[in-house]
């Protein structure tokens, strides 16, 4: 299984649980929509571990589940612990924690990111705006460091040429003593990206673990060695849970489902989560026109309304309308 709760839409979150055939994880490429089947899709203002446990145990035969892949959310981890289900941490979130652990107290990293923030704040509307670094995401910032260090590497190359103005060189002068740090970090982030791609496509196994660790052979910086050690510990944990099988360790497919849904409803955020959330389930499986036609004919509006009442309750838009009616009644 792959499970996650969405970001907040209005005042609600979607709990989504997907099923994947275990053998599919050893086919040498990343999961696609036609590989997955929706098991649970329900909406609530919040999802505590006991609520997640209740929903899963009420709809799924856990005897058929080999393991579950989720992010590092404590509510999800506790839920699967209570269900006695092996828990695999999604590689993206695991790598983010590794990078955070290695860099959050690193003096050069703190100075580097502060300098980039200052340039963005002071120079974005200036005549040297062309050298302004990319924005850094506040959420999940340690999952998105590569563009910042790729920018630093490019600027260092430009400092070695005569392509920059004197003002630009002065603004970027802080990079000169950081050359080795920027290049090492850039190399590390690129290697981690390659390891992610390897494990997302081929899954975790002794073979892919050995290949991943070998990618650190030419990296000797302190932060590289710290992450290598954490990666070895992560692989040890996966090895104990894999029992010699190839294991899926990516929940990208469920993030993609939420991303598509977010794109669908971006123009109606004030409505909140409606029965349009069923589009998430409609993305999955081997869909074709005949099957879609059969499904549309088989599901009545009555069944749809029953599902909506049971799984969504009132949307944010409906709550606002109800509140406005009460205000109007008081005024009149």
Domain spans, the chain? 2-90+251-331, 93-235
Residue 172: per-residue pLDDT: 96
**pLDDT tens for each residue of the chain, 332 residues long:** 999 998 776 678 889 999 999 888 878 788 998 899 989 988 888 899 999 999 999 889 999 999 999 998 999 999 999 999 999 999 999 999 999 999 989 999 999 999 999 999 999 999 999 999 998 776 567 788 999 999 999 999 999 988 899 999 999 999 999 999 999 999 999 999 999 999 999 999 999 999 999 999 888 888 899 999 999 999 999 999 998 899 999 999 999 988 888 887 776 655 667 777 788 888 887 666 677 778 778 888 888 888 888 777 666 666 777 777 777 777 76
The DSSP code for 283 is: T
Q: Which residue has the tokens 């086919």?
A: 27
pLDDT at res. 139 = 56
pLDDT at 323: 75
pLDDT given at position 289: 64
Hey, is 330 helix, strand or coil? helix
Number of Cβ within 10 Å of residue 200's Cβ equals: 18
- Cα distances (angstroms) measured from residue 331 to each of 5, 100, 315, 321: 40, 54, 25, 15
In the chain, DSSP finds a helix count (H) and a strand count (E) of 14, 5
Q: How many CA atoms lie within 13 A of 155 on its CB side?
A: 28
Crossing angle of helices 49-59 and 74-82, rounded to 10°: 50
Q: Which residues pair with 3 in a beta bridge?
A: 17
Please write the tens of the pLDDT for every residue from 119-128. 999 999 999 9
In this structure, what are the phi and psi dihedrals at residue 69, rounded to the nearest 5 degrees?
A: -110, 125
- Residues in contact with 127: Cβ distance below 8 Å, sequence separation at least 6, in sequence order: 167
CA-based angle 324:329:331, to the nearest 5?
Answer: 95
173-195 burial string, b = 16+ CB within 10 Å, else e? ebbeebeebbebbbbbbebbeeb
- Give 130-134 contacts, CB < 8 A, sequence gap 24+: 131/155, 131/158, 131/164, 131/168, 131/171, 131/172
Please state whether 4 falls in left (phi above 0), alpha (psi between -120 and 50) or beta.
beta
**Dist. CA 260–CA 276, nearest whole Å:** 12
- Please give the model's pTM, rounded to 2 decimal places: 0.82
Distance of alpha carbon 239 from alpha carbon 261, whole angstroms: 34
> Which token pair is 14?
């979607």
pLDDT tens digit sequence for 30-78: 899 889 998 998 888 889 999 999 999 988 999 999 999 999 899 999 9
What is the model's pLDDT at position 297? 84
What's the chain's Rg over C-alpha atoms? 24
Provide the greatest CA pair distance for the chain.
77
What is the CB neighbour count within 10 angstroms for residue 254? Answer: 24
User: Given the DSSP bridges, would you call strands 87-89 and 68-70 parallel, antiparallel or unpaired?
Assistant: parallel
What does the block give as tokens for 97?
Answer: 């924690």
- Do 41 and 278 touch, CB atoms closer than 8 A? yes
């Amino acid at each position: 299984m792959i499970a996650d709760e969405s970001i907040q839409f209005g005042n609600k979150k979607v709990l989504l649980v997907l099923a994947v055939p275990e053998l599919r994880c050893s086919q040498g490429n990343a999961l696609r929509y036609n590989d997955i089947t929706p098991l649970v899709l329900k909406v609530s203002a919040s999802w505590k571990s006991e609520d997640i446990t209740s929903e899963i145990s009420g709809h799924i035969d856990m005897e058929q589940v080999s393991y579950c892949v989720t992010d590092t959310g404590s509510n999800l981890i506790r839920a699967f612990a209570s269900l006695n289900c092996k828990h695999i941490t999604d590689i993206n979130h695991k790598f983010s924690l590794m990078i955070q652990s290695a860099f959050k107290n690193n003096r050069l990293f703190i100075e580097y990111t502060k300098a980039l923030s200052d340039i963005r704040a002071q120079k974005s509307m200036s005549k040297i705006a062309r050298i302004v670094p990319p924005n850094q995401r506040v959420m999940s910032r340690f999952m998105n460091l590569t563009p910042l260090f790729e920018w630093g590497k490019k600027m260092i190359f430009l400092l070695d040429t005569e392509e920059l103005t004197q003002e630009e060189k002065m603004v970027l002068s802080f990079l000169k003593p950081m050359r080795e740090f920027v290049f090492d970090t850039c190399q590390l982030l690129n290697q981690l990206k390659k390891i992610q791609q390897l494990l997302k496509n081929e899954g975790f196994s002794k073979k892919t673990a050995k290949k991943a660790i070998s990618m650190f052979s030419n990296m000797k910086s302190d932060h590289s060695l710290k992450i290598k050690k954490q990666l070895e510990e992560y692989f040890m944990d996966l090895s104990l849970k894999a029992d010699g099988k190839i294991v899926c360790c990516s929940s990208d497919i469920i993030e993609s489902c939420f991303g598509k849904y977010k794109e669908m409803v971006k123009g109606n955020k004030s409505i909140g989560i409606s029965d349009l959330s069923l589009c998430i389930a409609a993305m999955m499986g081997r869909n074709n026109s005949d099957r879609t036609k059969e499904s549309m004919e088989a599901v009545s509006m009555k069944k749809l309304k029953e599902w909506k009442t049971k799984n969504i309750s009132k949307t944010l838009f409906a709550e606002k309308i109800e509140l406005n009616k009460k205000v109007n009644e008081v005024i009149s």
